[in-house]
Structure 1
């Protein structure tokens, strides 16, 4: 089985888990991920310190995380991570951790300082802009954007950044707070979008899941058109040396 191959379904998830600090939390998260057959799970608010990668005790998943260094008061805040099944892990090229808020997104809340907000969006913009144009960009995580049930503002933002947005809801309210966004040119590869309300980790945020299946139709049409529109350099045949070589080759 491959991940992200043409015609292959790959399931992504984004979830604010509230904390992975505590005995058995990562094992419980792994069980939910495997039960739901998620290949790549973006995790917010892990409250894990430092930056590391480790394999689970079962050997079925890998955790990559980026968090704060230890605070003087011992408080644990923020932290993001990505959990991969072993198939997805074999496809991983690199995972440069940017901060305790960016691998997946975990944006500052409204009560955060303007400096924290500015730093986050500066890092996010820089990370987005640094991705090669040929790559598929997926932005997912807890953007702490409680916009209610009205999608108009977010849809405008998604159009500005050429992204297609999927959202999840927070608690029992109609606040949209978790998001998965993909570039518009790949939106037809996205299907089976769901908020998973029965995912069990004691979090008051719902898990949002999408499946992607890349299509080759556009790529094939481009290659066929390129072949059809290929022009032959007939003027070169006026050169006696080239004409003689072509004649010999045909004979």
Structure 2
């Protein structure tokens, strides 16, 4: 009788595990989408939205569609960053390991609203929010506060933002420009990986730097032609 009960219990447990795996696999896209929308705002302090996620575990290919980062409070443009498609390639064998190995992250034709105000711009504000969040996490770790689970780290072989389109707006002008592709390689490779927050910080810093350089270089070039301040700003965006 005991043996029969043990067998029945084993079958029930096995069935529950199988059912759980089937549920997890069939809802994996939704789980990833929800995780991005839940944990993204923890760093940016803005809305983060995703239209859909399609993840294929066998190949490690992941398509993130209609990804959007909203603006911090006080900024007027509709969003800070959006793209119709992020193409991600993951090494499947690393999913269960301590450090996730991402072969590629390719962001296609991102659209950026770079809004400049008298004392700050939206990207600097998002950058400070991420810095603050990362600082809080490190402080908690030093004080010995236990988190539910350590944040997974990742190594990214290739990260490319292709055909970056920027709308620059300030009190004086609103116009558009396109940046050359932004390419980064071997992110986190020499330090055992980076967290999601650290990766977001790197991308935000790089975008802010590239946009600032493009605006500054074009402004200096236009200034040499003797244009007015307003013409100088307009000359940035030919």
TM-score computed with the length of structure 1 as normaliser: 0.28
Greater percentage in helix? 2
TM-score computed with the length of structure 2 as normaliser: 0.29
Higher relative contact order (CA 8 A, sep 6+): 1
